[in-house]
A and B are shown apart, each in its own frame.
Chain A
Amino acid sequence: MLEVDSYEHNVLARASLDHCVKCTICETQCPVMRVTPLFSGPKYVGPQAERYRHGESVDHSLDYCSSCGTCTLVCPQGVKIAELNSVARAAMKRDHMPLRDQIISRTTLLGTVMTPVAPIANAVLKFKPARIVAEKTVGIHRDAAMPTAQLTTFTSWFKRHTPSTTPTRGKIIFFHGCAGKYFEVDTAVKAVEVLEHIGYEVVVPKQGCCGMPLQSNGIFDAARKSVRTLAGQLQAGPAGVPIVSTAASCAGMIRHEAREIMGVTDDALIEAGSRTYDISEFLLGLADKGELPLDDLKRIDTEVCYHAPCQLKGQGMGTPAVQLLQLIPGVSVVESGATCCGIAGTYGLKKEKFDVGQAVGKPLFDKVKEVNPELAVCDTETCRWQIRNATGAQVVHPIAFIHEAYGLGKATEPKAGSV
């Protein structure tokens, strides 16, 4: 396949526009269109506008698409609506890339810069004047959710830790994602402890960024490079064993987005993608086969709101976390029923989209506050930051509950080195 950064070459997505019958179902479900007239809607910027695209980009308002992917998910005709938009955005940004989009798209860079000076970074991030400067200069909204930097990275914890059990089930590769490495160390640690607890020998090959933030900001060249490198790194681990991840959106990048949006069809990527699983999906699969020790799960009496992130829904696996959590005695899960939290990767951080993102997330925030204002559950990092920022609730990955139920710690208490 030809690989040029323009929509013309995205043969698959572009060809799918032919399936559009204008039924408008995508527009009834688009969380952004519902809250702002600034976005013309997925049908408009997707299959409709695509027929007019050639040469210079003229429809800059397509950048109001949050790339949540809901449109593609609900399209009954199989139009790759969100993918069309992502490709068009990449074509547009080639010429008009704001500095801001380049900075927040480089998660690894952000993480390395922040870790050694975590307390300072966190203080700065919580410090209004500094945030106002950030908004004015690079366009990150002063109230936007920002990650909490950690003192230890996951990698250094992993090197130091000793598994609690002797492996009985063989090897498994853990894919932590950038957030797991730098910001959401707690989630990654708990996942490893659970996997080791049930008898896996966890292997963590060196791994870089999947390129998702670059891709969603339309920086395709660099994103392709990232995901290719990552696929190679994952393949360097033990051959053929499952790759399990707590970074739902990064897993989605490897599994389908790199191929569908950026046309990367390398064998390495396809192979690694074919054995990559979301951790809840993986554990639920074990449970279905009777291979997850259910009797050891201790009772936790709680009711929590669970929000399924867009990136997870886009992978077409349903909501395995809901079923998994309900295996724990006493846990009652209320699904948020909301389409999107409004962060959509880095979308809701941008100053011109912050209000849109907040409006998009409002039904979700209300639901969280109604169900349990203290604690909520969600699979992806940025969504957790967004919900936390907007509701004040603590938001954890589903694995935190399994971790607690196996008696390995407490869902609400961080496991390693957070500040």
Chain B
Amino acid sequence: MRKLRADVVVVGGGSTGVGVVRDAAMRGYKAILVDRADLAQGTSGRFHGLLHSGGRYVVSDPESATECAEENAIVTRIQPHAVETTGGLFVVTPHDDPAFGDQFLAGALKAKVPAREIDPALALAREPRLNPGILRAFEVEDGTVDGWQLVWSAAASAQAYGAEILSYHEVVAVERTGEAVTGVRCLNRKTGEDVTIECGFVLNCAGPWAGRIANAAGCQPVDVVPGRGIMVAMAHRLVNTVVNRCIYPADGDILVPIHTVCVIGTTDHPTTDPDHLEIPREEVQQMLDAGEELIPGFRDARAVHAWAGARPLIKDKHVAATDTRHMSRGMSVIDHRERDGLSGLLTIGGGKLTTYRLMAEHIVNAMEEQLGVSHPCRTADEICPGNVPGKTYLITDRLHEREEDRLSDQIICECELMSRSMFIDLLEKFPQASFDDLRRQLRVGMGPCQGGFCSSRIAGLTFEEGAVDIERATGLLRLFLENRWIGLWPILSGDQVRQAALDDWIIQGILDVDHLPHPAKEEI
């Protein structure tokens, strides 16, 4: 049993949690963040990748729109490496009401979201694959954001201010003496060790799982209604600008070019268990149809992967629980002292990845209010480690890097252009990582071949580097392939079937991975 002590424990290592631990650490608190798995493998790693300009909400939720516009600029400034400033378009397709465009423009003006109508011909010249029948087009400042890069660089910033980040630490209980929180009890899932952290404050940032943490503290049930949404990534970018349908927010109305892929999404269905989010085939078809509206021929392009995430929406009494899209996305902070008579616990819900920094500011302010102290929030002022001021991500970055080191380094993941040294360097930092943990930071296995070629290479490298024995290497490889498969089978058709067949010949036919010696228990 390990014992730690902190001023604040932050539960959940998604965008909200790392934003909170960074803010708390910057205000001088001794803070520890725990996540039951790796950072950003929850919603913050299963979202759409849009750094909202606010345009999406100018009509439905103007307050959120304004916040998005402001936070977009801040995130782009403090974490440029995670952001690509693609720009965005709102287009009125032949099936949409052109009059909505007027509402859109008026809303944008009011919400202070920069937007400007342009000639549809100009939009087509910029994005030649767009539906040539578009009736109107508006330019906005949408960008795209890599949730993993964003989370890791915010975590690095927190660590630089003395925070501790404990991944694979699952909170099993929130300790209290009567009316006050005294700490949390965690299970280290890699080692099986119990870890208790004594603290005066717990900030519950467990996203769609936040209700469970509140339960663990013995509070009245917090009604989190996870809104499940699916997204489908296409093998290459069909557009280089974010393309939104200019309609009242609906399913499949946004196409996001992020890294080497473009992602169509999303859907919204209330669900109960955020641990098991299905990717129904009908929804995949619905997304491909939606893509077809924006880009004729979309269905003929190659889909490579699908995933689902759950919006951590906290129930709002003003709307029915079945209509999660139209619940306020505005964040809500629940003060459990007022609600349940328990001091030292706050829960946050709602919000968006784009506004993660603002959410953190709110909850840390609420904590200081309860503590009766006040420090200024400085998270918007300081650039996060690993970022060069003004150097936003470019799609060409990796190609450029490989052009430089092509004669001295080896390429391990050919689709995502990950070099051998990139992999070895990260493995050295995280020798216990699973291949998916490494993937999220390196993008290994995320391209068209979905790990068919690189997965066995990284298994070999991991073994060769002495990080694992042969059984664990095999176990990790199998786990990685199983996880890839979850997002593969729902979209399998056309080119991707041929890929899957070839991958199977390699993985099963040549390597016989299913019958290699591997550990009895499942790898973590």
Residues of A at under 8 Å CB distance from B?
A: 2, 4, 8-9, 11, 14-15, 17-23, 37-38, 40, 43-44, 48-56, 58-61, 77
B236 touches A17 (CB 8 A): yes
B406 touches A18 (CB 8 A): no
Q: How far is the CB of A116 from chain B (nearest CB, A)?
A: 45
Interchain Cβ contacts under 8 Å between A and B, 20 examples = A2-B125, A2-B128, A8-B240, A18-B235, A18-B448, A19-B498, A21-B499, A22-B415, A22-B448, A38-B407, A49-B399, A52-B395, A52-B417, A54-B237, A54-B395, A54-B396, A55-B395, A58-B400, A59-B400, A77-B495
Total residue contacts A-B, CB cutoff 8 A: 86
A399 to B481, CA, bound (A): 57
A60 to B402, CA, bound (A): 11
B240 touches A54 (CB 8 A): yes
- Which residues on the B side are within 8 Å of A19 (C-beta)? 302, 495, 498
A343 to B263, CA, bound (A): 43
A11 touches B400 (CB 8 A): no
A21 touches B237 (CB 8 A): no
A18 touches B403 (CB 8 A): no
Give the top 5 A-B pairs by smallest Cβ distance, nearest first. A18-B302, A58-B400, A52-B399, A51-B260, A51-B236
- Which residues on the B side are within 8 Å of A58 (C-beta)? 396, 399-400, 403
B394 within 8 A of A: yes
B414 within 8 A of A: yes
Q: Could you tell me the dominant secondary structure of chain B's interface residues?
A: loop
Q: How far is the CB of A115 from chain B (nearest CB, A)?
A: 42
Contact of A56 among B396, B398, B447, B448 (CB under 8 A): B396
- Which residues on the B side are within 8 Å of A61 (C-beta)? 403, 406
A60 to B406, CA, bound (A): 12
Interface residues on B, range: 35 or more
- Which residues on the B side are within 8 Å of A37 (C-beta)? 407
- Which residues on the B side are within 8 Å of A52 (C-beta)? 260, 395-396, 398-399, 417
Instruction: Return the chain A residue nearest B400 by Cβ.
Output: A58
B116 within 8 A of A: no
A52-B260, A56-B396 given; A22·B236 CB < 8 A: no
A51-B236, A58-B400 given; A22·B128 CB < 8 A: no
Instruction: Return the chain A residue nearest B257 by Cβ.
Output: A54
A19 to B452, CA, bound (A): 15
A51-B260, A52-B417, A61-B406 given; A18·B398 CB < 8 A: no
B192-235: which residues lie under 8 A (CB-CB) from chain A? 235
Q: How far is the CB of A30 from chain B (nearest CB, A)?
A: 15
Contact of B128 among A9, A38, A40 (CB under 8 A): A9
- Which residues on the A side are within 8 Å of B502 (C-beta)? 21-23
- Which residues on the B side are within 8 Å of A49 (C-beta)? 399
Given contacts A22-B448, A22-B499, A54-B396, 9 further A-B contacts (CB under 8 A): A2-B128, A4-B128, A8-B128, A22-B452, A23-B502, A44-B411, A51-B260, A53-B395, A58-B399
A9 to B400, CA, bound (A): 22
B448 touches A20 (CB 8 A): yes
A48 to B495, CA, bound (A): 15
Q: How far is the CB of A24 from chain B (nearest CB, A)?
A: 9
B449 within 8 A of A: yes
A22 to B304, CA, bound (A): 14
B106 within 8 A of A: no
Contact of A50 among B236, B447, B498 (CB under 8 A): B236
- Which residues on the B side are within 8 Å of A8 (C-beta)? 128, 240
Instruction: Return the chain B residue nearest A22 by Cβ.
Output: B449
B301 within 8 A of A: yes
A11 touches B448 (CB 8 A): no
- Which residues on the A side are within 8 Å of B5 (C-beta)? none
A8 to B241, CA, bound (A): 13
A297 to B499, CA, bound (A): 52
- Which residues on the A side are within 8 Å of B235 (C-beta)? 17-18, 51
B414 touches A44 (CB 8 A): yes
- Which residues on the B side are within 8 Å of A55 (C-beta)? 394-396
A9 to B128, CA, bound (A): 7
